[in-house]
A and B are shown apart, each in its own frame.
Chain A
Amino acid sequence: MDKSLLLMLVAYGVLVVASYFYAFKKDENKAKKGILKGWKQFLNQIPLLVAIFLLVGIFDKFVPKSIVINLVGKGKGFMSVLRASILGSIIMGPASSAYPFGAVLLNKGATIAATAVFLDAWVMVGVVTFPFEVSVFGKKFAVIRNVLAFVGAIVVGIITGLLIAGSAF
């Protein structure tokens, strides 16, 4: 494993242990509940996680690089970013699955901007949950929020690409 990655993992582990030290001191029952809740969530998400990583592996071995480059690769202009944002808006799922997909896209030749747009749209724009959002907030709120989130994903992604890769498309 990458050394910096290992270091980060250790640091994160220490943070988690420290936060539970604090929790047990403050409210033992609540802390126990927290551990139980975390464990349950872990068990709950394991099947999904297995499926997601399976798909990531399949995507990596079966989808040729040329397809990814053609759709969201370098030199494909604004359309590459637009495609990434539409794809990200339609897909829904927890962040745990978004990041490995982002990484495999990058490896396959997607631009930084397209990857960032894809990830941001994945979390922020909800096509599938849109009807629910309307039922809670009303149409005006839901439409404006999703439009702004869609635009935001594109803007943030393009700037990320400019800052890291020096170009967005």
Chain B
Amino acid sequence: MKKYIKKHLFEFLTFIFTGILFVFYPDKTLAAVKEGAILLLKMLPMFLCVVFFSSFLALFLSPKTIQKYLGKESGFWGIVVAAILGTVIVGPLWILFPLFETLLKKGARISIVGAMVGAFAIKTPWIPYAISFLGLKFILISVILILGYAVLEGLLMEKILLKVNYQPK
């Protein structure tokens, strides 16, 4: 039980917070809970699609598979490909740090790793979910711009890091 609370501390605090709010503003809080519940129920089918598609990608297109695709292709288009591949990897960014570090140690160009990390802001399985909240135009433009910036970010990172004599740890 203690472990469970620790793992879901944020959720518990939120529920306690909601409870306190309810004591002071019962009507408003009830309306807020109702709104949250409706929104959640609306999103649930989409969310199910996301988790199942994510787990499919994770198993059939693992970062290790992606590593293979990167190969020695390290020209400008290699960086673009890396950025696009970066969008398919799912999960929080920091979980993948060790993998990217391995890539660097194995001799991948910094720009390749930089572009992949940069493109991570786009999560392909999440795109329909994001559109349902913010609209097609907003998400489409964001995706294109983030991809473009990811390539630029990779190139810039490489330039700067080589200048300061960066060595993978």
Check if A120 sits within 8 Å of B146, measured CB to CB: yes
Take A12-B128, A141-B166 as given contacts and tell me if A57 and B49 are in contact as well, using a CB distance cutoff of 8 Å.
no
Residue with the highest number of chain A CB atoms closer than 10 Å, among B46, B58, B121, B123: B121
Check if B39 sits within 8 Å of A56, measured CB to CB: yes
B69 at the interface (CB under 8 A from A): no
Contact of A156 among B60, B98, B128, B149 (CB under 8 A): B149
Check if B168 sits within 8 Å of A100, measured CB to CB: no
A-B CB pair tally, cutoff 8 Å: 216
Q: Which secondary structure dominates where chain A touches chain B?
A: helix
Q: Which residues of B from 66 to 98 have beta carbons under 8 Å from A?
A: 92-94, 97-98
Contact with A along B83-119 (1 / 0, CB 8 A): 0000000001110011011001000000000100110
Check if A137 sits within 8 Å of B101, measured CB to CB: yes
Contact of B134 among A53, A102, A159 (CB under 8 A): A102
Contact of A37 among B14, B36, B59, B130 (CB under 8 A): B59
**Identity of the chain A residue whose Cβ is nearest the Cβ of B99 in the assembled complex:** A136
Q: Which residues of B from 9 to 36 have beta carbons under 8 Å from A?
A: 10-11, 14-15, 17-18, 21, 25, 28-29, 31-36
Check if A16 sits within 8 Å of B52, measured CB to CB: yes
Take A47-B11, A53-B36, A94-B92 as given contacts and tell me if A12 and B120 are in contact as well, using a CB distance cutoff of 8 Å.
no
- How many interface residues does chain B have, given as a range? 35 or more
A50 nearest CB across to chain B (Å): 7
Contact of A106 among B33, B35, B134 (CB under 8 A): B134
Count A interface residues, CB 8 Å: 74
B1 at the interface (CB under 8 A from A): no
12 more contacts with CB within 8 A, not counting A102-B133, A103-B133, are A8-B128, A8-B131, A13-B45, A16-B52, A26-B60, A39-B51, A54-B18, A55-B14, A61-B29, A62-B21, A137-B169, A164-B138
A-B contact pairs, 24 of them (CB 8 A): A9-B49, A9-B128, A19-B53, A19-B60, A34-B60, A35-B55, A42-B48, A53-B40, A54-B18, A56-B39, A57-B31, A57-B36, A61-B31, A62-B21, A95-B126, A103-B133, A124-B118, A137-B168, A137-B169, A138-B168, A140-B161, A156-B149, A159-B141, A159-B145
Please give the residue numbers on chain A whose beta carbons come within 8 Å of chain B beta carbons, in ascending order.
1, 4-5, 8-9, 11-13, 15-16, 19-20, 23, 26, 30-31, 33-35, 37-39, 41-42, 45, 47-51, 53-58, 60-62, 94-96, 99-100, 102-103, 106, 112, 115-116, 119-120, 123-124, 126, 129, 132-133, 136-138, 140-141, 144-145, 148-149, 152, 155-156, 159-160, 163-164
